Chains A and B, each alone.
Chain A
Amino acid sequence: MIGEKLIFERGAPGRRCATFPMAVDSGAAIPTTMRRDIPAALPEVGELELVRHYTALSQMNFSIDTQFYPLGSCTMKYNPRVHEKAARLPEIAGLHPLSEDAQPALRVIWEMEQVLKAISGMDGFTFQPAAGAQGEFVGISLIAAYHRARGYRKKVVLIPDSAHGTNPATAAMCGYTVQAIKSTARGTVDVADLEARLTDDVAGLMLTNPNTFGVFEDEIEKIAALVHGVGGLLYYDGANLNAFLGQCRPGDMGFDVVHINLHKTFTTPHGGGGPGSGPVGVTKALLPFLPLPVVAKKGGAFHLDFDRPQSIGKVSSFYGNFGMLVRALVYAEMLGAEGMRRTSEMAVLNANYIAAKLHAHYDRPKNGQPMHEMVFSASRQKKANGISATDIAKRLIDFGIHPPTIYFPLPNVAPETMLIEPTETESLEQLDVFIDAMIRIAREAEENPALLKDAPHATPVRRLDEATAARKPILRWKRGATATAVQKP
């Protein structure tokens, strides 16, 4: 098949695609110590060959456009085409970040800030973070700056054991030590364990709500009071905000800092792993520390305010992934208040429908009522037939469905986890197709486990040798190196 080869292995010396006008000699020559005499070994392909190659590569992917993608915590909802059109308008795509003609762009940022303030209940936002993890870095840096400004020396960030790995990694990047908080049988924060760990050393608590089990943290008001009681702040990881749109707000729950993933809740496309956008919102007390610049409005005009002496500084080359804000703003304007509420309602309805239908067939390690996503486990199948969450995930591929997120939450919190998030844009018929596939797989696990162990069966490649990939890394193509792998007929 055509996707077998890399672009470097196509074409022929001297073949080419794009051309440029001939340069008119300026009379200046590149100093010989600096001049590149050996060109980079880039591919030499024709345009049709190039288009066929990348089209073939694209066809080796699952995507929202082609398959149901119930990847928990990732909110794989439909990416509207009008967003792409908007961000590509030549004037918007062609605007230089240091241009003086930026009033309309500043308006986009300012209006998006108003939307996020209304949704989250926070008092101000920065749009610099390019993804959720960078948002976390900004958020924890803001908390650190807040404590520093008050002369506090706090050393610890508390994080539930079920949290995403970026939470502890972020706290460590900001110089904090991490302590894990236990989960209850329902999947919520164990408040007694939290209380036992609360000391004056605690800078803050990082929490996702609904949490990683898809369960609402119903003691959140008490948790907030406890953390605030020792002078700590509450950080909201917005990975699961899709459940809350128009229903309730992290600001009202007592959170001091939030990050929102526009590539999840506001459906800017995931792009195979970015670009994302992870704006961070804060309460009034933290506004002075926001990254610079922030967009300000004076009279009828907008400007970038760089005069912020307490700011934590910058995290982006310019102002973040602006093109993603254009998409998210179009989404927010089209949905409006009623569309936001409808979105969270249908996301929660879809998730609960799946949970009810699969209840008899798979274990649920934590039994709280799910909101927009739920965790099932393959522990029953593992015990009875040696079938793991991986085997179920790979078998789903044979049914033309992208697997859920697996082994998150982590095995030390719950075994063989499968985190399923359908989102609101999937139809009842599609949910039923998925449910039928999951039930059939549960039956196959008993009757024909080898079928699952062997899956997937019809993909461009089958299960890959990840151990060798890590032990003897081949991380790039090299001229003259020949592939040792056999070619698929």
Chain B
Amino acid sequence: MLYDIFIGPFVQMVEMPDFFLQVLWEGFVAGILYALIALGFVLIFKASGVFNFAQGIMVVFAGLTLVGFYESGVPALLALLLTIGVMGALAYGIERFVMRPLVNQPDIILLMATIGLTYFLIGLGEFVFGGEPKRMIAEELGLPTGSTAIEMGERGLVILQHIDIAAAVIAILMVTALGIFFNKTRIGRALRAVADDHQAALSVGISLNQIWAIVWFAAGLVALATGIMWGARSDVSFALEIVAFKALPVLILGGFTSIPGAIIGGLIIGFGEKIGEIYWGGLVGGGIESWLAYIIALIFLLFRPQGLFGERIIERV
């Protein structure tokens, strides 16, 4: 028993490096996708202090809208543009009708409002697009769909799906773009000012309403990219919603306010989950993927209650 826990898995890793690498790659891809969802959370949390529970459903909603437009006969790229437009309208609507009336309320009330928003979007999505899973139009959007097998000498081979590589590249591009946006542009600086202090930002003439709409729109774009990537790997369906819960440990690991934190947190969770499931999951009957992420986050939190990259929590009485 002790052997199975402490030695067996490592022996297995060394004996079958190709399999181990495959597991690592799976973990990497899962981590990137978790990180993408977490990124949407971080954007909104940074700028408005709202923990946006609806991010998961926004991913589904964006994916469904894209597929929905395509199925009604619109060319793929135009459908993409139209979906971006829909996400913009959604961002404006959320800012106008949910966030603005609730300004300055306690965190938990805002959290509740986003959960209410989740219900609304679930209902709306199912009402407009139906509840069945849909196939993502990955090929039509020009994303690669094949796979490459890399041979590892005589030890076997590792299979890389092209769509996963594309996901990784897009995630890296997106993080870089967001980094530049936050640090170099006028709006990005305004966003950081709002994140630091709402009142001070207002007093130097930054429009909070405008900033929030922009931030929700950016989160919508991240959701769209995530929706395409997740959708290409499985189908676009409301089951993706559960993935949003996975973003929670990712966020907590990385700290709510840190963009690099979201990426690194995502990778830790992705790797930990896949390796744990494959090498240790069998000992307890499998399926531990559903909760391992939370336990990993919990262990990290016990040592660093503010997450790996979060700002230090200082409490005054």
Partners in one complex: no
Task: List residues of B whose CB falls within 8 A of some A CB.
Answer: none
Interface residues of A, Cβ cutoff 8 Å to B: none
